[in-house]
Amino acid sequence: MFTSFELKAVTIPNRIVMPAMCQYSATEDGYVTNWHRVHYGTRAVGGVGLIILEATAVEKRGRLSNHDLGIWDDDQIPGLRELVELGQAHGCVMGIQIAHGGRKSFGEELVAPSALAFPKMAAPHALTVSEIKDVVASWRHAARRAHAAGFDLLQIHGAHGYLIHQFLSPLSNRRTDAYGGSLQNRMRFLVEIVEAVQGEWPEDRPLSVRLSAVDYLDGGLSVCDTVEISRTLQDRGVDLMDISSGGLLPAPIKLGPGYQVPYAEAVKQEVGIPTIAVGLITKDELAQEILSNGRADFVALGRELLRNPYWVLKAQAKEEIWPWQYHRAMPRS
């Protein structure tokens, strides 16, 4: 848990990740606020190895709420840079998740691979091929801005039923052109985004993709599909897979400690690409077990880090990891 891991030119000081978690606390124009400064700054002081900033919209119409962070405008760069500098000052590696909600976005302008609505939402407009190219270009510009802001790692949000996932899953993609049908075609949008992003993102910094390993529905994405997608992404130069699940459509999910770890494990074992496991990992025993047995290279703690920002410090009661200002409060055995 406390050994470092090198991804390209970036050394992540430990294996604990704070996964992307929307805070719905940006201004209506998608700018960083004091909330973000305190929220991310606290987890960086808390010793998290890698913070992945919340889903940050590559296009205004791709926001999930009217208070999402945005990266669709150059003016949004300085606020993001401040967060990067805050985190890095505490030795934390700073990543950002860039995202587009597609048919699950907030607002009127819903777009998707096919005109199939998410339950209780309006029907989206099915993107034409030339519109797809424009959306891909918005990911590219977002990558340029993420680099300009100084982020160490970039994550493409391909999970949770958002636009990329809508292309990947046969349940939401009924296209009959080059972007639909076979898995290879359904992957095309994601692969084009990866290529576009790589045009702007420096080669020596890690690129990550988050996927939902399964849709939990008949006819939806399976672990086998996810392994195949991950293999393609690895061949294309992606460095780190973050393996979540669900979100495409309402579905029954059996929750329990580490319930998504087997998916990360399958991707790691079968593809040999570094992975992040996530989902109800709250105890250091479980985190350590996952890492020691090589089931994943990183563990992400979401809600647990919201409740307990100093989880990492508490798990390692060693003086050197605690900020000197807090030494008098350090637990002693």
Ligand X SMILES: Cc1cc2nc3c(=O)[nH]c(=O)nc-3n(C[C@H](O)[C@H](O)[C@H](O)COP(=O)(O)O)c2cc1C
Nearer to ligand X, 214 or 301 (CB): 301
Tokens encoding 157? 């949000």
Kindly tell me which of 297 and 322 has the beta carbon lying closer to ligand X.
297
Which is nearer to ligand X, 167 or 322 (by Cβ)?
A: 167
One-letter identity of residue 318:
K
CB 129, min distance to ligand X, A: 27
Chain residue whose CB lies nearest ligand X = 302
Q: 150, 199 in Cβ contact below 8 A?
A: no
CB of 71 to ligand X, least distance (A): 13
Least distance between ligand X and beta carbon 210 (Å): 5
| Closer of 126 and 280 to ligand X (Cβ) | 280
Residue 155: phi, psi to the nearest 5?
-120, 130
Exposure pattern of 105-144 as b/e (b: 16+ CB <10 Å)? bbeeebbbbbebebeeeeebebbeeeebeebbebbbbbbb
CB neighbours of 128 closer than 8 A, spacing ≥ 6? Answer: none
As measured in angstroms, the least distance from the Cβ of 25 to ligand X is 11
Residues 190 and 156 sit within 8 Å (Cβ to Cβ): yes
- Fill in the DSSP letter of residue 102: G
Give whichever of 181 and 302 is closer to ligand X, judged by the CB atom.
302
57 burial type by CB count under 10 A (0-12 exposed, 13-18 middle, 19+ buried): buried
Task: List residues binding ligand X (CB under 6 A).
Answer: 19-22, 54-55, 97, 157, 159-160, 210, 244, 278-281, 301-304
Amino acid of residue 246: G
CB of 279 to ligand X, least distance (A): 5
* Choice between 289 and 330, CB closer to ligand X: 289
Q: How far is the CB of 330 from ligand X (least distance, A)?
A: 25
Q: Kindly tell me which of 279 and 322 has the beta carbon lying closer to ligand X.
A: 279
Helix, strand, coil proportions of the chain in percent (round to 5)? 40, 15, 45
CB of 185 to ligand X, least distance (A): 24
DSSP letter for each residue of 276-329: EEESS--SHHHHHHHHHTTS-SEEE-SHHHHH-TTHHHHHS--GGGS-GGGGGG
- Sign of torsion over alpha carbons 143, 146, 150, 155: negative
